[in-house]
Amino acid sequence: MTDIAAVMPGERRPVPAIRLGPETLTLGILVIFVATISLAPLGRLALTAIAPDGTLDLASTWSVLARPRVFTAALNSLYVALASTLLAVVLGSIAAVLTVHGNIRFKAVWVFGFVLPLMIPPQVTALAWVQAFSPTSPVLGLFGLALTPGVRHPLFSAGGIIFLLGIYNAPLVFLTVRAALRRLPANLAEAARASGAGNLQLVFTVLLPLARAGIFAGAAIAFVSAIGNFGIQAMLGIPARFPTLITLIYQQLNSYGPSGLSDMAALSLLLSLITVIALGLSNWLGGRGDVRVEEGGRPAEIDLGRWRLPVEAGAWLYLSATLLLPLSALFATSLVKGFGQQLGWDTLTLTNYANALFHHASIRDAFATSLLLTVTAVLLLSVISLVLAYFISWKKSPLVRLIQMAAELSYVLPGIVLGVAMILYFLRPLPLLGFSIYGTIWIILAAYLSNFLALALRPLLGGFSQIDRSLEDAARVAGAGFVQRMRDIILPMLAPAVIAGGIIVFMSALNEIQVSILLVSSSARTIGPMIVFLEEGGSSTLAAAVGCLMILIVLALMGIASLFANRLPKGALPWRD
Amino acid sequence: MTQRLRNKAVATDTGRILIAMVSIALKRITKDFAKKRVLDDVSLQVENGEFVAILGPSGCGKTTMLRLIAGFEQMNSGTIHFNDEIIASPERNLPPEKRNVGIVFQNYALWPHMNVEQNVGYALKIAGVSSDERRRRSLDALATVAMENFAGRAPADLSGGQRQRVALARCLAANPSVMLLDEPLANLDVHLRASMEREFSDFHRRTRATMIYITHDQSEAMALADRIAVMDAGRVMQFARPHELYREPRNEMVARFIGNGLVLPVADLQRGRADGTVNVDIFGHRSEVRARKDQAKLAGASLGVHPDDLKLADSPVEGFAAEVERITYRGSHVQVHFRPRHAPDLSLSLHAPHDRPVSAGDTISVCVGDGWVIPEAA
Ligand SMILES: Nc1ncnc2c1ncn2[C@@H]1O[C@H](COP(=O)(O)OP(=O)(O)OP(=O)(O)O)[C@@H](O)[C@H]1O
Ligand SMILES: [Mg+2]
């Protein structure tokens, strides 16, 4: 047998408690990364808002916020966000109860159709709805319901914005309520039945109260999403002359350029405060009362009896109204030469698609830029979120918690706020490098990384919670260092979660408009804002073609992702049952 | 110290794998989790090639101790030595990947994305062993647990016992100087446990690896271990050979814990007829019991006995008088619950053969066949 002394040298060099190994180094890089893309810009924003000239000057902040225009916009923002959240909660909860507990047929298809609007860029949705009511709408036209020219468009109003935001965000509520309902074991419902509860009583006295945390969580997400939804608020609100906080910020930049930044910062801070307060409130409301249950088992089924057919009919009608109506209008518009033309064999043309793909350099470049930024963001965020999730799950420390909070904050704050923060932070030339990235695609990339880090993190945190830590311990005792463990053990086991996160980030980044709307310049344009610019410039048919192309890309992505669905963690793809 | 402790391959031509042994010393270790003391001044010296079992009630700090030895936790004070070399102290800590320990986890911790052979050969891969050599040594290790025919399987396609064997082979192939096993059999059924127990014992005989084995199961510990450390509330109560623990518990906790021991109050210790015995008064009856050679003559002490040591006496003069409370039928014997007449508050029981029928309310005479005066009586 070997002499152990031979393998253990006698000299005693102290091993410091904290070693500058790859692990510490990685954590250091993570901290610097998150500080640069999240903490510092947001801090800068807050500072600019309350101390525009470097010294605390709340009076000037107040003078910005106290303007009647700002007050009206803030009220409008609150109004549309709250009302649309209410609509989304009602629609989403009904849909969730029906798909989890109802005995309706073709559930999987219906779930897919219900969640689909969430995957479509909001500005495309807005455009499609605007065209659905246009004088030449193919669907409404068929029924003779189309508006006569000259009448004010019904969607260019507060009601229109609320309606679209409500429909757009209903899937968000649907997903959280559905998840909450599925946790409930069937025996709770059976006990209620045994006590004599009918269908409606069961839903209102047992199921929904127990799913309350899910409902409030969904409402919070819907509210945050609504108040920051630039696509719909801008496409409908600007023509309607209905100002909200984010359209005000947008117009501020358009009219004054970066010189209006301190005003924009104050507005952004107000918007952020509203968001954070709403989240806190919903958290508090949703967390009250004990709704803990033993998880597991199949959800209880509710037999709709003779109501089954009417309910199914209603459900399919809803889908056709929310999907077919707008999308067919969008598609029809994309196929005619000029806006307002009837679609027929003589007017049918593919010119718009040819223009969008080949002739319009700015559109082509925007597609290319978006793809480049999206792919880069996905790749970087996959690596970063894997390592960050590792630290969050298994190496908790106050520093790590701070990083996680910063990531969450950058995600929940409206994208436009992040945009303002990015401009403020990156306007000045970078230290050492000596040039500013403002106006280039890199500032958009920074904003994407900041905004979508939490999104990429989510499936990974779920993945880590499902694997036992002893698997890593076993690799450590096998002699594997940090990098080897990441490569050989953790990455292979979490690969599905990484992919799931990548898909979600890819779709979100490709669809987004609110983050980059303030950051785009003539030399750096993404595809999201392109539609708004085209529509503002009067090229509705071209905008429709671009919108259709984006939907096509999204559908293709969803299809590809679905191919891998059974290898991904459960619930990683929101549109899958 | 910065050099890895992992040593070169030690495979002999017979294919037997030898393990570089190491002695382990824990010196005055304390460990707190959030102000809660989990290990309290623990010292333990494990010799080269020794098989040590750690036994103790749930939550007493066994796993924590193992994780400290492996390097997953840091202590608050004290030191850990491998062969007189300090490898861990509050100031400096050799990370687990450099300690050359092997662990068999209670839940096996096999990597689901690797097949059996890849699992077993992973440590060799990390050490840079060539793939041919790695394959040979992985199969060798698998052969020692009779699993060489499963090399290509995924862990998910194995039974619990097979997974446990693979985990053992993985630990073995890594050629560790110390093997740490945390309740390796806890998830197996009774029959499998018995056969795995035999396998561990064979395995240790062949490899002479230094092994620290945590278990809840006393009979497992007794069967396998050279020495057993009994722990309670973060302290080592006694560290001794199995028969010594059973026959000569150092304190009341060990006396009660090992073999369902009973502790009886005794009085008036007098010198016994032979060395290492004393004459004591047990509930009014004088008996000769074992004690330390230097046992002081005290007015009162505690006596450790096991249920089998209490017997029905043939005549009243041979034991202390007691009142039968109730009888429980146990198949091979009956369990007689009784209260000594001198200490009616105490409820005790003994095993009686079927040919000595007693019934509730009877007065019986109980003799103490064997007992040990607990040195550190409370
Ligand atoms: N990471 C931790 N953080 C806080 N407390 C811990 C941690 N790990 C263990 N403890 C506490 O330390 C004590 C000892 O735990 P340990 O796991 O060592 O017990 P054990 O003897 O292995 O128990 P068991 O037989 O149940 O496995 C317990 O009270 C436990 O709650
Ligand atoms: Mg334990």
Question: Per-residue pLDDT tens for B248-287?
Answer: 999 999 999 998 899 999 988 888 888 889 999 999 899 9
Closest-lying ligand 1 atom to the alpha carbon of residue B231 = 21
Q: What are phi and psi of B135, to 5 degrees?
A: -65, -45
Cα B59 to averaged position of ligand 2 atoms, centre (Å): 7
Cα B64 to averaged position of ligand 1 atoms, centre (Å): 6
* Confidence tier at A182 by pLDDT (50, 70, 90): confident
Mean pLDDT over residues A38-57, rounded?
Answer: 86
Is a pLDDT exceeding 90 seen at residue A170? yes
Q: Which residues of A are less than 8 Å from B22 in CB distance?
A: 4
pLDDT score of A186: 78
What's the token pair of residue A171?
């899937």
Question: Which option is the CATH number for A20-51+360-523+544-577: 1.10.3720.10, 1.10.4030.10, 2.40.30.110, 1.10.260.40?
Answer: 1.10.3720.10
Mutate to test the pocket of ligand 1, among B26, B29, B38 (most ligand atoms within 8 A of CB): B38
| Cross-sheet strand order for the sheet of B227-232 | B101-104, B178-182, B210-215, B51-55, B227-232, B235-240
pLDDT score of A143: 64
C-alpha A239, offset from chain centre: 25
pLDDT score of A253: 83
Q: Are B16 and B185 in contact (CB under 8 A)?
A: no
Which of A409-413, B9-13, B105-109 is the least confident region?
B9-13
pLDDT score of A17: 46
Q: For A21, which residue in chain B has the nearest alpha carbon?
A: B95
Is a pLDDT exceeding 60 seen at residue A76? yes
Is a pLDDT exceeding 90 seen at residue B323? yes
Mean pLDDT over residues B164-188, rounded?
Answer: 86
- Chain B within 8 Å of A484 (Cβ-Cβ)? yes
For chain A, give the mean pLDDT. 85
Question: Among A1, A469, A475, A476, which Cα is nearest to B210's?
Answer: A1
Chain B from 286 to 325: CB within 8 A of any A CB: none
Mean pLDDT over residues B79-105, rounded?
Answer: 89
Q: Which residues of A are less than 8 Å from B1 in CB distance?
A: 8-9, 11-15
Cα B100 to averaged position of ligand 2 atoms, centre (Å): 21
Q: What is the set of domains in chain B, with CATH numbers?
A: 2-247 (3.40.50.300), 252-373 (2.40.50.140)
Strand, coil or helix: A269: helix
pLDDT score of A371: 92
Q: Which residue matches tokens 């103790």?
A: B56
Element (H, E) at A483: helix A482-485
Cα B216 to averaged position of ligand 2 atoms, centre (Å): 9
Tell me the whole-structure pTM to 2 decimals.
0.82
Cα B260 to averaged position of ligand 2 atoms, centre (Å): 22
A119 vs B8 pLDDT, higher one: A119
Q: What are phi and psi of B159, to 5 degrees?
A: -80, 170
Mean pLDDT over residues A6-12, rounded?
Answer: 35
DSSP string, A353-411: HHIIIII-HHHHHHHHHHHHHHHHHHHHHHHHHHHHHHHHHHS--HHHHHHHHHHHHHH
CB contact under 8 A, B83 and A5: yes
Q: For A495, which residue in chain B has the nearest alpha carbon?
A: B113
pLDDT score of A147: 64
**From CA B198, how far away is CA A268, in angstroms rounded?**
71
pLDDT score of A166: 95
Is a pLDDT exceeding 80 seen at residue A104? yes
Please enumerate in sequence order all residues whose Cβ is within 8 A of that of B196, keeping only pairs 6 or more positions apart, or say none. B161, B164, B165, B184, B185, B188
Q: Which residues of A are less than 8 Å from B4 in CB distance?
A: 479
C-alpha B291, offset from chain centre: 24
CB contact under 8 A, B122 and A11: no
Is a pLDDT exceeding 80 seen at residue B6? no
Question: Among B171, B220, B180, B173, which Cα is nearest to B198's?
Answer: B220
**From CA A353, how far away is CA A547, in angstroms rounded?**
10
Closest-lying ligand 1 atom to the alpha carbon of residue B61 = 18
Mean pLDDT over residues A380-390, rounded?
Answer: 95
Which of A159-168, A381-390, A513-522, B226-235 is the least confident region?
A513-522
The shortest C-alpha distance from B207 to chain A (Å) reads 10
Instruction: For residue A13, give the nearest of B1, B8, B109 by CB distance.
Output: B1
The shortest C-alpha distance from A20 to chain B (Å) reads 13
Strand, coil or helix: A511: helix
Q: How many CA atoms lie within 13 A of A194 on its CB side?
A: 7
pLDDT score of A360: 85
Reported ipTM exceeds the 0.85 cut: no
B310 vs B378 pLDDT, higher one: B310
Q: Are B32 and B76 in contact (CB under 8 A)?
A: yes
pLDDT score of B167: 92
CB contact under 8 A, B122 and A488: yes
CB contact under 8 A, B6 and A5: no
Q: pLDDT over 90 for what percent of chain B?
A: 49
pLDDT score of B294: 84
Taking only Cα atoms into account, the Rg of chain B, rounded to an integer number of angstroms, comes to 25
Q: What is the pLDDT of residues A249-265, one digit of tens each?
A: 998 888 877 677 888 88
Provide the residue count of chain A: 577
Which of A186-190, B79-83, B129-133 is the least confident region?
A186-190
Q: Which residues of A are less than 8 Å from B111 in CB distance?
A: 471, 474-475, 489, 492-493
Residue nearest to atom 1 of ligand 1 (CA): B33
Residue nearest to atom 8 of ligand 1 (CA): B64
* Confidence tier at A5 by pLDDT (50, 70, 90): very low
Is a pLDDT exceeding 80 seen at residue A18? no
Q: What are phi and psi of A357, to 5 degrees?
A: -85, -35
Q: Which residues of A are less than 8 Å from B21 in CB distance?
A: 1, 4
For residue B329, count other CB atoms closer than 10 A to its CB: 8
Residue nearest to atom 26 of ligand 1 (CA): B58
Q: pLDDT over 70 for what percent of chain A?
A: 90
What's the token pair of residue A174?
């649907």
* Confidence tier at A83 by pLDDT (50, 70, 90): very high
* Confidence tier at A274 by pLDDT (50, 70, 90): very high
Closest-lying ligand 1 atom to the alpha carbon of residue B216 = 25
Mean pLDDT over residues A309-318, rounded?
Answer: 90
At how many degrees (to 10) do helices A245-256 and A261-287 cross?
160
> According to the per-residue pLDDT averaged within each range, which of A93-97, A182-186, B4-8 is highest?
A93-97
pLDDT score of A451: 94
Q: pLDDT over 90 for what percent of chain A?
A: 35
Q: Which residue matches tokens 């039968």?
A: B324
Mutate to test the pocket of ligand 1, among B32, B63, B106 (most ligand atoms within 8 A of CB): B63
B194 vs A148 pLDDT, higher one: B194
Q: Which residues of A are less than 8 Å from B186 in CB distance?
A: none
* Confidence tier at A145 by pLDDT (50, 70, 90): low
CB contact under 8 A, B122 and A16: no
Is a pLDDT exceeding 50 seen at residue B145? yes
Which of A229-238, A455-464, A563-572, B236-245 is the least confident region?
A563-572
Please enumerate in sequence order all residues whose Cβ is within 8 A of that of B294, keeping only pairs 6 or more positions apart, or say none. none
Return the C-alpha torsion angle A182, A183, A186, A191, nearest 10. -120
Mean pLDDT over residues B26-32, rounded?
Answer: 95
The shortest C-alpha distance from A8 to chain B (Å) reads 6
DSSP H helical ranges for chain B:
62-70, 116-126, 131-144, 160-173, 190-207, 218-224, 242-247, 252-257
The shortest C-alpha distance from B91 to chain A (Å) reads 6
Taking only Cα atoms into account, the Rg of chain A, rounded to an integer number of angstroms, comes to 26
Cα A38 to averaged position of ligand 2 atoms, centre (Å): 41
Is a pLDDT exceeding 80 seen at residue A1? no
Q: For A477, which residue in chain B has the nearest alpha carbon?
A: B97
Mean pLDDT over residues B104-112, rounded?
Answer: 89
A180 vs A569 pLDDT, higher one: A180
**From CA A451, how far away is CA A415, in angstroms rounded?**
7
Q: Which residues of B are less than 8 Å from A2 in CB distance?
A: 7-8, 10, 20
pLDDT score of B14: 35
Question: What residues are in contact with ligand 1 under a 6 Å CB criterion?
Answer: B 33-34, 38, 56, 58-64
pLDDT score of A14: 41
Cα B178 to averaged position of ligand 1 atoms, centre (Å): 22
Which of A401-405, A421-425, B291-295, B322-326 is the least confident region?
B291-295
Element (H, E) at A451: helix A441-466
CB contact under 8 A, B2 and A480: no
Is a pLDDT exceeding 80 seen at residue A499? yes
pLDDT score of A320: 87
